[in-house]
Structures are given as C-alpha cells and as structure tokens.
C-alpha cells in the first residue's frame, strides 16, 4: 500500500528522536489520550512529529500558541510533506479570559 503521508527529508532521526518517535507511535496505537514531547529550541521536535505522522499515516491537527509559530510550523510541514495538503488557520479573536 502506498503511503498517503510521505515524509521528504535529507535527514534521519538521531539522538533521542528514534526513541521518542517509537514511544509516541506506540502511545497512539494504544489510544493514549495525552502524550507530551519536550525538547529545547532546535532539538527537532517538528521533525520528530513529522516522522510520527509518516508512521501512523493519519491526518494531524497541530495547535500553536501564537501566529508566528503557526506560520513556522506550517512552512516546515509543507517542506516535510510536499505531496500533501498542509494549511493553517489563525483566529483573530483576541479576547482572553481565564
């Protein structure tokens, strides 16, 4: 069966990424409701999630806390998945009430 979500990258997972990918995929397969991927800036969190998407072959919703990060993530996912629809939506609703 041909992959719907084909990851395109010159890089391979390295360091802690292979274990993180394996554990996140396992958690999704076991229907875990909550999982967290932690990493410092530049540690490859987006690439790690792209690998998870490629392995589980499911449409994915990524939520970012600000417009700048949303645009950055959209751009990176478009590069990782050039054959797939990658879009982002920004809400201009500015009222926050805890």
What tens digit of pLDDT does each residue of 46-96 get? 999 999 999 999 999 999 988 999 999 999 999 999 999 999 998 877 766
- Contact present, 54 and 7 (Cβ < 8 Å): yes
Which residues have CB under 8 Å from 5's CB, separation 6+?
A: 53, 54, 57, 58, 81, 84
Q: Tell me the CA end-to-end span of the chain in Å, nearest whole number.
A: 47
CA distance 66 to 68: 6
What tens digit of pLDDT does each residue of 15-25 get? 999 999 999 99
Residue 1 is predicted with a pLDDT of 57
Residue 52 is predicted with a pLDDT of 98
Please name each of the domains of the chain with its CATH number. Answer: 17-80 (3.40.50.300)
Confidence of residue 9 (pLDDT cuts 50, 70, 90): very high
């Amino acid at each position: 069966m041909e992959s719907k979500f084909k990851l395109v990258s010159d890089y391979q997972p390295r360091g802690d990424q292979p274990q993180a990918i394996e554990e996140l995929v396992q958690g999704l397969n076991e229907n875990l409701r909550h999982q967290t991927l932690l990493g410092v800036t530049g540690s490859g969190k987006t690439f790690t999630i792209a690998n998870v998407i490629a392995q589980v072959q499911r449409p994915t919703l990524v939520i970012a806390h600000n417009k700048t990060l949303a645009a950055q993530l959209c751009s990176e996912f478009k590069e990782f998945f050039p054959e797939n629809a990658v879009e982002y939506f920004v809400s201009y609703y500015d009222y926050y009430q805890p």
